[in-house]
């Protein structure tokens, strides 16, 4: 054979082998992709079966109230996974293992399993409903209701000894507790915002009062300066100069009050018709006229006006109010929201406390509230 022909045949055979290798690589790539897709589909089938199993016992994926709560999301995810795991293992609900139907242990196990799923489904529906509808400070009622549902399942499944396990019930109660804790903190934050807005409104009102009073005094000061410039008599000048000194002192007092944010009036008020006897409110206002604040508190939100027992001005009214609140802390009506300043104490007890803290400022104190509107209403 001609050497050239031999070389051509060798080259052709080599080219064929290269093409076979290329095709082999392509086939292996297709096979690899097919295997990956098959594995993904197998995983999806397992997930669907798992989801179906959980749904059979009433464990659903829904938007939980804590889903967007950053501080609670990790704890919630961990708790929800434990609940699901209990549902997968069959540890959530327990039943008889020796039950027979038509003298068949297999049929007996099947019946117990089906009734157990039905009971657990009802229990989980109640638990989910309680979580979705839970309100702040209503945890005890929700737990009691879930426990009652559990007791009902024990009664209905008594013949087959069907019952929700202690461990699973504890997980669902823990979910309620976690949700309630979040709601309480959320409500506290809302209340803090409301109180802060109220404080800002009160400060704004006080600031406007300072500005109006200062404008009034400056106008009066200018009037007396003009009158003084037109007078020549010594006696008249002395009177006007004295009046100007009083006005300047008043202006300084307003400036000092405006600059000192801790200065103000501590008030002690009560409302027998609204809150009963021996309940007082101890608060603080920076208003020039503290009665403006008292009148606002007795608006249409309460049936009767407040009675004033004492109005005590102090350069450090904040510390005075805090001291009184601490002294009567055990008598505070609302122990959750510390910004609700009502205490179950008698006015006499508050008077004695004020005497110890500010004896030189306590010029007047009314022990017995007038409660005029309430008393008139009682006699009508």
CA distance 280 to 308: 10
Q: With 90 as the cut, is the pLDDT of residue 368 above it?
A: no
* 363: number of Cβ within 10 Å: 9
Averaged pLDDT for residues 340-359: 88
Q: With 70 as the cut, is the pLDDT of residue 56 above it?
A: no
CA distance 264 to 269: 16
Pairing of strands 342-343, 307-314: unpaired
Q: What is the 8-class DSSP label of residue 305?
A: P
CA distance 240 to 228: 6
Per DSSP, the three-state class of 369 is coil
Burial class (CB in 10 A: 0-12, 13-18, 19+), 324: buried
Phi, psi angle pair for 104, to nearest 5°: -115, 120
Confidence of residue 344 (pLDDT cuts 50, 70, 90): very high
292: nearest Cα among 264, 271, 318: 264
* Dihedral sign computed on CA atoms, order 80, 81, 82, 87: positive
CA distance 264 to 312: 8
Burial class (CB in 10 A: 0-12, 13-18, 19+), 342: middle
Lowest mean pLDDT among 34-48, 91-105, 161-175, 176-190: 34-48
Longest Cα–Cα distance in the chain: 151
CA distance 123 to 105: 27
Q: What is the dihedral of CA 190, 195, 201, 206, to 10 degrees?
A: -170
Predicted confidence (pLDDT) per residue in 144-163, tens digit: 999 998 888 888 888 888 88
Helix or strand holding residue 4 (H, E):
helix 3-56
Concatenate the DSSP letters of all residues of 11-61 into one string. Answer: HHHHHHHHHHHHHHHHHHHHHHHHHHHHHHHHHHHHHHHHHHHHHHTT---
Q: What is the 8-class DSSP label of residue 306?
A: P
- The confidence score (pLDDT) of residue 332 equals 92
Q: What is the dihedral of CA 178, 183, 189, 190, to 10 degrees?
A: 170
CA distance 84 to 51: 10
Q: With 60 as the cut, is the pLDDT of residue 44 above it?
A: no
**Integer distance in angstroms from the first to the last C-alpha of the chain?**
138
CA distance 238 to 234: 6
Averaged pLDDT for residues 234-242: 66
Pairing of strands 342-343, 280-285: antiparallel
Q: Which residue is listed with tokens 């409302």?
A: 271
Tokens describing residue 52? 């179906």
Q: Which range in 37-46, 94-103, 368-377 is most confidently predicted, on average pLDDT?
A: 368-377
Per DSSP, the three-state class of 66 is coil
Q: With 60 as the cut, is the pLDDT of residue 1 above it?
A: no
Averaged pLDDT for residues 97-115: 79
Tokens describing residue 185? 């903190």
CA distance 268 to 297: 12
Tokens describing residue 333? 């009506």
Whole-Å CA distances, 217 to 202, 238, 240, 315: 23, 19, 14, 22
pTM of the model: 0.52
């Amino acid at each position: 054979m001609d050497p050239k022909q031999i070389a051509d045949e060798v080259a052709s055979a080599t080219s064929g082998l290269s093409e076979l290798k290329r095709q082999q690589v392509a086939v292996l790539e297709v096979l690899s992709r097919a295997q990956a897709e098959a594995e993904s589909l197998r995983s999806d089938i397992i997930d669907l079966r798992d989801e179906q199993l959980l749904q059979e016992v009433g464990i659903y994926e829904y938007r939980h109230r804590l889903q967007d709560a950053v501080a609670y999301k990790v704890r919630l995810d961990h708790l929800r996974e434990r609940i699901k795991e209990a549902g997968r293992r069959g540890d959530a609900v327990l039943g008889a293992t020796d039950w027979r139907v038509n003298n068949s242990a297999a049929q007996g196990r099947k019946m117990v399993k089906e009734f157990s799923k039905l009971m657990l489904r009802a229990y989980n529906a109640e638990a989910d409903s309680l979580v979705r509808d839970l309100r702040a400070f209503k945890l005890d009622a929700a737990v009691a209701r879930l426990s009652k549902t559990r007791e009902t399942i024990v009664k209905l499944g008594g013949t087959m000894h069907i019952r929700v396990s202690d461990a699973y019930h504890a997980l669902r109660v823990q979910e309620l507790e976690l949700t309630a804790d979040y709601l309480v903190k959320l409500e506290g934050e809302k209340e803090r915002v409301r109180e802060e807005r109220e404080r800002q409104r009160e400060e704004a009102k006080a600031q406007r009062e300072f500005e109006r009073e200062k404008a009034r005094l400056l106008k009066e000061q200018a009037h007396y300066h003009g009158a003084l410039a037109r007078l020549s008599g010594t006696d008249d000048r002395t009177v006007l100069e004295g009046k100007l000194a009083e006005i300047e002192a008043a202006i300084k007092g307003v400036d000092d009050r405006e600059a000192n944010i801790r200065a103000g009036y501590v008030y002690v008020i009560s409302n027998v018709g609204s809150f009963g006897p021996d309940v007082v409110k101890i608060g603080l206002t920076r208003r020039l006229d503290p009665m403006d604040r008292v009148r606002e508190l007795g608006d249409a939100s309460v049936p009767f006006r407040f009675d004033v027992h004492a109005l005590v001005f102090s350069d450090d009214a904040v510390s005075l109010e805090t001291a009184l609140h601490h002294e009567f802390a055990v008598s505070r009506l609302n122990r959750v929201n510390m910004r609700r300043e009502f205490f179950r104490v008698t006015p006499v007890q508050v008077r004695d406390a004020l005497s110890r803290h500010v004896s030189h400022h306590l010029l007047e104190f009314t022990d017995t509230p007038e409660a005029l509107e309430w008393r008139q209403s009682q006699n009508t």
